[in-house]
Chain A
Amino acid sequence: MNVFLTLLRRELASFFLSLSGYVIIAAITLLIGLSFVVLITGIAGQPFTAPVTEMFYSTFYFWLILLLASPVITMRLFALERASGTFETLMTTLVSDLQVVTAKFAAAIIFYLVAWLPLLGCLFIVQHFTDQGGTLDAGTVGGMYLGIFLIGCVFLSLGCLASAISQSQMTAAMISFVLGVSLFSLAYLAKAVPDSAHWQSQVLACFDLFDQMHDFARGAVDTRAVIFYLSATFLFLFLTVRVVESRRWK
């Protein structure tokens, strides 16, 4: 546990004590702010019943942030250590492969959640000017952050995997971007295929990220989606551990 905390501390330090970390946070904040401006001007003057959080999910900015930020956050994790050779010094200390992977992933997810905090500020501002109680309901905001957290787990673990299999950060970022976009387009495919009893469409329905996020944004937590996200995360992290171990049997 001590080793895990030491590793986590160093990973967090490399996110928060570097310029690039703040550049990422600034970029995400800019996109969040921009999406809110677009959202607010769109609905200005007309009454609406849905919570703001729900509207926010339907903007493409949310997905843009997810697709762009996760490769940038994770690309460094393993690829940089491999390229600089520190991977060798790291792996010859008393750390296990699992500790290294979980510590890096945990640091990435903490950074990711911190980068999403400015969204709360936007919600406060909206509530302040609408004087309606329903805008900032604890349940919907909690559901929204749970959704952000879970889908972030999936995309970041995918990024970890991409970083573990590449030697350079750029390759890692590209691989995880392509994989992320593929996962994202499965959601489109799921939308395009009409509902039916066929197993194909049932499987595709699991990948319908839009609907699932829509539910989270309304404050409804669907266990099927939660299980899907968690198991996808475990799968990608498991594969990452295997890739890190691969030096033993390559």
Chain B
Amino acid sequence: MKALANFCWPEDDFSGYNRARIFPDGKGMIEVTNLTKRYGSRTAVNDISFTVARGEIVGLLGPNGAGKSTTMRMLSGFMPGTSGTVRVAGFDVFHDADEVRRRIGYMPENNPLYPEMRVREYLKFRARLKGLGWKKSRDRVATVMQQCSLTDVSGRVIGQLSKGYKQRVGLADALVHEPELIILDEPTIGLDPHQIRSVRTLIKSLAGKHTVLISTHILPEVEMMCGRVLIMFGGRVLASDTPENLQRRMAGGSQVIAEIAAPESVLRAAWELLPEVVQFDVSPAEGDYLRCALTPRDGFDLRPLVAKVAHDHGWPVRELTRTRHSLEDIYVQVTKPTQEEENE
């Protein structure tokens, strides 16, 4: 677990700046404390704690089987945790279940719907189950159908709709009772790129008015939509930060790529002379150029130095970049099993 330790939020990180940011009024939208869920001997969620502030869009990121869906099920009140507490808008999910359910719009994994019902009929049925009155539910259904661009298909049978439309029906259902918190479990899974884009736009438009928690294992999605990422793996929350901060934290280990036209032996000697270069790799590129991948000493930006070396020798340079770690690298690094775990 050593590799992971770097990415875990230090305990005190929570208390100072972040706490003030997350709890402007002293309480968050979601407060999860030491939540654990065991199925028999298998631990699906292992002692996780996190908070989500009002109005935030938070992505719950992790590979399949990381415990994302289980966490969401516990948040929605479908099933309780083995231990620990979940509070939504200050209410305990199990002791004040009705208060919490009024405030949550939940779309489970795979977006289950009744295929034999018509869109308007289904949404009205759901609105009634969520405690809306006759007139109120009619108005709200009309509003969410417009919001989710479903007005054209309001009379169609759900089973005959395309997957993108079905997904929007699921979203409309989650929104119909104007919940403060919206929990979406893999909302874009199985959609084509156009549909994904429209669903993303829809979710983005919810920011500010609603608090949104989205689970996904697709990285660009998180980078595009979420203000903060929780990385889950093996039932634990390993990291919690903005996508940019996570990238910054990784920047220390980033490499500099330079393509330079020079004799290979001289080039190698030049890099060996530089104390700032910890490791280098030189390989032939297109034309006369050689591609150098240089790993700097901790946190050092090698680019000016490389430019200077090339300038001094009069070598033409056609590329000089620092590789930015994408969230993908962070994700892979955080979630890859460490040596000890692999040996076990």
Q: Is B18 an interface residue (CB 8 A)?
A: no
How many whole Å from B135's CB to the nearest CB in chain A? 13
CA distance A86 to B166 in the complex (A): 14
Across the interface, B110 reaches (CB within 8 A) one of A2, A85, A247, namely A85
A26 within 8 A of B: no
A85 touches B108 (CB 8 A): yes
A2 to B112, CA, bound (A): 23
Binary interface encoding of chain B residues 121-148 relative to chain A, with 1 for a CB under 8 A from any of its CBs, else 0? 0000110111100000000000000000
Shortest C-beta distance, A247 to chain B (Å), equals 5
In the bound complex, residues from chain B placing their C-beta under 8 Å from that of A86 are 112-114
- A10–B101 CB distance below 8 A: no
Beta-carbon contacts of B267-308 to A below 8 Å, as 1s and 0s?
Answer: 000000000000000000000000000000000000000000
In the bound assembly, the distance between CA atoms of A58 and B59 in angstroms comes to 66
Residues of A within 8 A of B186 (CB): none
Interface residues of A in 77-130 (CB under 8 A from B): 84-86, 88-95
B129 in complex: contacting residue of A18, A90, A250, CB < 8 Å: A90
Cβ of B109 under 8 Å from chain A? yes
**Per-position binary interface string of chain B over residues 79-115, scored 1 when its CB falls under 8 Å from any chain A CB and 0 otherwise:** 1100000000000000000100110101111101110
Residues of A in contact (CB 8 Å), total 22
Number of A-B contacts (CB under 8 A): 59
Question: When the two chains form their complex, are residues A92 and B112 in contact, meaning their CB atoms are under 8 A apart?
Answer: no
Q: Are B73 and A88 in touch, CB under 8 angstroms?
A: yes
Tell me the minimal C-beta distance from B87 to chain A in angstroms.
17
CA distance A91 to B98 in the complex (A): 11
10 closest Cβ pairs, A-B complex? A85-B112, A93-B129, A6-B128, A86-B112, A88-B108, A94-B131, A92-B76, A247-B79, A92-B106, A93-B130
Give residues in B with beta carbon < 8 Å to A: 39, 73, 76-80, 98, 101-102, 104, 106-110, 112-114, 116-117, 125-126, 128-131, 173
Q: List 20 A-B contacts (CB under 8 A).
A: A2-B128, A3-B129, A3-B131, A10-B117, A10-B125, A85-B108, A85-B110, A86-B112, A86-B113, A88-B73, A89-B106, A89-B108, A89-B126, A91-B78, A92-B101, A93-B126, A94-B101, A94-B102, A247-B78, A250-B39
